[in-house]
Structure 1
Amino acid sequence: MENSLKPPLITLKNLTTGFGHHELFINLELFVRKGDRIALVGRNGSGKSTLLEILAGIREFDIGERTLQSGVSITYLSQNLHLLKEQTAKDYLLETMDRNAAREPHLIAQALSISAILPNNSMVDLSGGERQRLAVAGAIIQNPDVLLLDEPTNHLDINTIEWLEKIVLDFTGAIVVVSHDRQFLNNVSKSVLWLDRGVVQRLDRNYAYFEEWAEKLIRLEADNAVKLDRFIEKETAWSREGISARRKRNQGRMRRLEALRHERRERRVADTMEKLETYTTKNSGRLVLELCNVSKRFGNHSVIKNFSARIMRGNRIGIIGSNGVGKSTLLKILNKQIVPDQGSIRLGSNIDAISFDQNRACLNPEATLWETLCDAGGDQIEVHGSPRHIIGYLQQFLFDSGQARSPVQSLSGGEKNRLILAKFLAKPSNLMILDEPTNDLDLETLDLLQEMLFEYKGTIVLVSHDRDFLDRIVTSTFVFEGDGHIGIYPGGFSDYLHQKKSDSQQRIEAKSRNQRKKSEHDLKQRTLGRLKYAEKRELIVIQEEIKKLEKEISSLNRRLNKEQENSRKLYELSDALGKKMKTLENKETRWLELELIKTNGS
């Protein structure tokens, strides 16, 4: 409520716009205020990117007005980065940053430092994740009043998404972000704008509450539609059966009936995707895949080293790791598209496998949607062994009948992924191999995909950077841990993190025990003599250092108790406190050693 009293930084009022005869927004109203952290959500094609561009002031609209508070600065980060050939990282920042910011060399240096990119690195040679890191750092370092982010998590690995979360949480301006990553939205948002059938509705709570709220609105809308239909039927009956003179006296009631009929005609019915179903062929053998000491190198780089695993019927395997470590290579080895340098792969019996390609290599951009699904001609597609009319099947995936003859190249990234899903899910299988299936999917389609995979009776092996998706689907996780080593952990991503933390704590405790044993042994050897001159001097100095450390630790504790808002500052203070306490522990251990030698020697 407090934030709603602040004057808007950006105001959109009575805004209507569209493409051709298709209207994206009708009389849309929207406010962005200081301190807003808004998740902008809606189905693919609902106009989220268009709305961000209108907010940024780089897209025209048909009707309405856009008002900007005086002096407000806006930075917009598109999901499609504009790259020039032979452009360096420094050149990219100079071109894309605000002119005033670009004149400040320390800001350029800071953006490069935050993103861990060298100034002369070629943008063409950087990975997608590295480019995105640089773009985000360049946007945030300008410290705009409003930051607009369009799918900033797309194609990022989990480590980079977590880095992005920290950067966004530390940003003090207003943020409007579009993303299909649920956990990212949960972590960074304070409110949600739902773009649904040309209308924006606002929830002033974190994204975690959105789905329950949206379902209530949809149910309420359906109930109101039923009530309206019944009332129109009743009024229509009155108009037909009433005496002519009575109808003439009640022209107001007749006009209201016509207005209600118009309202019903203009009603934008919520599109609903039918439940996606998969058909599992006959059961595979109990053993689906077995890898024994598999290794793969590219030049001098070892991607996979001596990896062994057994994948059994019904397993749901998630594969995670940084971009470029070899996740897709492992999938291609499992799929027999790549031969390992050493080791063996055994495929079980009765395996019917299908693969989902993150690069959409199975789509011909020149072909129509119809031709893509009915490559043999005709108007029927075989779905799990039964014929379905192509139009009806496309509508199940939210394509309208007019799109059936459109070329694939006219589709958005999310629509292409939906088309691949339509082609993919028509085939019966008992093993699915999925490479980044969630990329570019809207949240509703992602929900339905999750539901379908959850009910799938076969075996699933998938690569994903979507933490929420992994937690909902997988039962085991293969983790690329560096230098070609792959660890196997039971459960999803959160389970892996918990186990990793527990293992790390156990290693620290074991190392500490070993260090104590070594210190005790060394101490026994030294207690036979007296303190040397250097040790006498060390004892005096170490006592002063301990006093100083105790004061610094006390100060850090007070600052931690006061700091509640800035997550990066909290992290830095906690990190500093941990280091100081470790140093104090080491100093006290050394002080005890010296005191014991001094006592025994005297």
Structure 2
Amino acid sequence: MAPPPLLRLDGVRLTFGGTPLLTGVELNVLPGDRIALVGRNGSGKSTLLKIAARQVEPDGGEVFLKPGTTLRYLPQEPDFGDFRTVGDYVSSGLGPADDPYRVTMCLDALGLTEDMVPANLSGGEARRAALARTLAPEPDIILLDEPTNHLDLPTIEWLEGEIRSMKSAMVVISHDRRFLDTVTKATVWLDRGTARRLDEGFAGFEGWRDKLLEEEERDLQKLDRKIVREEHWLRYGVTARRTRNQRRLEALHTMRQERRDARRAVGQAVMQAGETRESGKLVIEAEGISKAYDGRELVKDFSTRIARGDRVGLVGPNGAGKTTLLKILIGELQPDSGRVRMGTNLDLAFLDQKRAALRDDLSVSDALTDGRGDQVMVNGEARHVAGYLKDFLFAPEQIRTPVGNLSGGERARLLLAKTLATPANLLVLDEPTNDLDMETLDLLQELIANYPGTVLLVSHDRDFLDRTVTSVISPDGTGRWLEYAGGYTDMLAQKREAAAASPAKGGGKASAPSPGKAAPAGGQTSGGGEGGGKSATSKLSFKQKFALETLPKTMAGLEASIAKAEAEMADPNLFSKNPQRFQTLAKTLDEDRQALAKAEDEWLELEMLKAEIEG
């Protein structure tokens, strides 16, 4: 028998501006639950978490928290109140029985210190401070709204490990597929005002959702056909029969009302990049470029050659200099030495992670057109802003809304709309995935994958990188940057192969990747607007050394297990002959793939730490 829920939402209803947002939502959080809360932007996910945290009062329904249960909520926009320091703010979330040491531990892991002043924090630092306040007490329930936003890859991996080690139940909203695959065991889909639960982690969600939508569409088509038959009877049936069959007539009215009330799935965004002339074959060539700030070299003797059609991803910890290197490559920042040569016929569109192109005091329409009327040029065609913004899921009444009143997801979609309307053959995207829902991410991935020009992309989203880029540039922790062919997962495999073939020696030299391209650069402090990184410890701990030695064997074993399972499942008759064996293999394969991804991420973080220490 299942234990009673720690948190129960029963029949929760909420209406905004006359439009029902939640129409009877049920949500139970049991001890140990790890729930992914998913749904389109605007479906009410963040609002539902606020209701669960008692920060928003619903119009109806019940919110029950088991007496004695501790709950912590991570909002998208933290409120620091009158706290003098970050340490005071984080400590205020502790209960009498909580360990004060966890304040220091969480802040250190998130790259913050207790003496930092809240008023001086950047947006990303403020989010990390709020995350520390949520995790430090180890509450019975944690509610996390986009916890990976503004986190770099090592910190996301730390967060995954921290969540897995905690006993807390969890409900999390995130656009990061890899993160949800790793930490969740159940999925709640918030769709058109109601919630449906799948007792599987996020990895099984998309197939389940598509099946439900197909069934729903079939049911609506059946209802349409039934209504047509009944309407035919109403028009042409015998009058006496019509009089005797009032119930049938009432049933027809009921079906019509049911059909009117049926809300189909929300439409998808439509994305198309502004087209322009074709660039030259060579887009960017960098030769021996270097850049230093405050006496520290961020980019040192870095060389690369980017051709038309390349899609290049830049990854690394916050503070490694990704934005600095990106701005040097596109000519916004001059190197201290070396040279950058730009190709011919280049037209650039730049999406800035700081969203600097959006002013809060402008309306959505004026932000899109820079105040130049109500028309926007897209691929040489004049379009009304209302029609163009509809492609990005904005309602017509929103075009006069101030940008400052938009949600994070709406601001992200507006900036994408503005960037993609710019005619360009070089698309530069600095953290484009923040605050986008998964359906919009899918469309952006498809656009990038099919983009005829060249793309430079900075992202911490591992799944997004795997689906979009043709090569990855990453710091190795010794003052160099290396370029690897393929996506993020390919980079991990190449680093593993390089380490096995030519282990790093003393003196800070990193082994070259195979089959990627190698190029030096990189430091630990960014001049391009990124948060400061953590300083390295003086040496690896015994536990870290042991993990570094054993993880390659673990990964090799998992790869062998995956290959064996895939080979057996390749038998087309396996499911019909032995469905139980097929299901067992499918479950094992999914678990092994998740374990391999986790092991690869842990190994990479340790390798980077080791290289930084040795350098």
TM-score by length of 2: 0.78
Task: For 1:441 and 1:452, locate their aligned partners in 2 and report how far apart those are by CA, in whole Å.
Answer: 15
| Alignment check: 8 A CA contact 1:8 1:69 kept | yes
Task: Label 1:115 to 1:320 Cα distance change in 2 as closer, same or farther (>3 A).
Answer: closer
Residue type at the aligned position of 1:178 = I
Counterpart residue number, 1:385: 380
Deviations, residues 134-188 of structure 1 (Å, cap 9, x unaligned): 5434433422221111111001000100000000111112110011101000000
| Alignment check: 8 A CA contact 2:106 2:136 kept | yes
Aligned with 2:10: secondary structure?
strand
Counterpart residue number, 1:119: 114
**Counterpart check, 1:51 vs 2:41:** no
Deviations, residues 307-343 of structure 1 (Å, cap 9, x unaligned): 1111111111000111122211222222322222222
Aligned with 1:92: secondary structure?
helix
Write the mapping of 1:541-556 to structure 2, written as runs, cut at 5 A. none
The Cα of 1:374 is off from its aligned counterpart by 3.8
Counterpart residue number, 1:100: 96
The Cα of 1:378 is off from its aligned counterpart by 4.7
**Which deviates more, 178-187 or 221-230?**
221-230
Counterpart residue number, 2:569: none
Q: Which has the larger radius of gyration?
A: 1
Task: For 1:467 and 1:78, locate their aligned partners in 2 and report how far apart those are by CA, in whole Å.
Answer: 23
Task: For 1:128 and 1:321, locate their aligned partners in 2 and report how far apart those are by CA, in whole Å.
Answer: 19
Counterpart residue number, 1:539: none
Task: For 2:115 and 2:390, locate their aligned partners in 1 and report how far apart those are by CA, in whole Å.
Answer: 49
Write the mapping of 1:228-377 to structure 2, written as runs, cut at 5 A. 228-375=223-370, 377=372
| Alignment check: 8 A CA contact 2:21 2:193 kept | yes
Deviations, residues 349-398 of structure 1 (Å, cap 9, x unaligned): 11121111111111232222223334464543221112223322211111
**Counterpart check, 1:140 vs 2:135:** yes
The Cα of 1:113 is off from its aligned counterpart by 5.8
Aligned with 1:100: secondary structure?
coil
Task: For 1:31 and 1:391, locate their aligned partners in 2 and report how far apart those are by CA, in whole Å.
Answer: 40
1:409 aligned to which of 383, 404, 407: 404
Counterpart residue number, 2:475: 480
Task: For 1:166 and 1:451, locate their aligned partners in 2 and report how far apart those are by CA, in whole Å.
Answer: 31
2:78 aligned to which of 66, 81, 90: 81
Residue type at the aligned position of 2:153 = I
| Alignment check: 8 A CA contact 1:133 1:160 kept | no
| Alignment check: 8 A CA contact 1:129 1:160 kept | no
Write the mapping of 1:576-595 to structure 2, written as runs, cut at 5 A. none
Counterpart residue number, 2:152: 157
Task: For 1:194 and 1:203, locate their aligned partners in 2 and report how far apart those are by CA, in whole Å.
Answer: 8
**Counterpart check, 1:206 vs 2:201:** yes
**Counterpart check, 1:68 vs 2:65:** yes
**Counterpart check, 1:186 vs 2:181:** yes
The Cα of 1:47 is off from its aligned counterpart by 1.0
Task: For 1:336 and 1:107, locate their aligned partners in 2 and report how far apart those are by CA, in whole Å.
Answer: 44
Task: Label 1:137 to 1:362 Cα distance change in 2 as closer, same or farther (>3 A).
Answer: closer
Aligned with 2:6: secondary structure?
strand
Task: For 1:378 and 1:140, locate their aligned partners in 2 and report how far apart those are by CA, in whole Å.
Answer: 48
Aligned with 1:29: secondary structure?
strand
Residue type at the aligned position of 1:335 = I
The Cα of 1:416 is off from its aligned counterpart by 1.1
Question: RMSD of aligned C-alpha atoms?
Answer: 2.7
Aligned with 1:11: secondary structure?
strand
Task: For 1:364 and 1:130, locate their aligned partners in 2 and report how far apart those are by CA, in whole Å.
Answer: 21
Counterpart residue number, 1:28: 25
Counterpart residue number, 1:594: none
Structure 2: give runs of 5+ residues left out of the alignment.
507-549, 551-590, 607-615
**Counterpart check, 1:453 vs 2:448:** yes
Task: Label 1:375 to 1:118 Cα distance change in 2 as closer, same or farther (>3 A).
Answer: closer
**Which deviates more, 317-326 or 238-247?**
238-247
Task: Label 1:371 to 1:67 Cα distance change in 2 as closer, same or farther (>3 A).
Answer: same
Task: Label 1:113 to 1:280 Cα distance change in 2 as closer, same or farther (>3 A).
Answer: closer
Counterpart residue number, 2:213: 218
Task: Label 1:452 to 1:117 Cα distance change in 2 as closer, same or farther (>3 A).
Answer: closer
Structure 1: give runs of 5+ residues left out of the alignment.
512-552, 554-563, 579-602
Task: For 1:411 and 1:136, locate their aligned partners in 2 and report how far apart those are by CA, in whole Å.
Answer: 23
Residue type at the aligned position of 2:21 = L
Task: Label 1:399 to 1:115 Cα distance change in 2 as closer, same or farther (>3 A).
Answer: closer
Q: How many residues align?
A: 515
**Which deviates more, 393-402 or 446-455?**
393-402
Aligned with 2:346: secondary structure?
coil
Task: Label 1:316 to 1:116 Cα distance change in 2 as closer, same or farther (>3 A).
Answer: closer
1:428 aligned to which of 408, 412, 423: 423
**Counterpart check, 1:168 vs 2:160:** no
| Alignment check: 8 A CA contact 1:129 1:157 kept | no
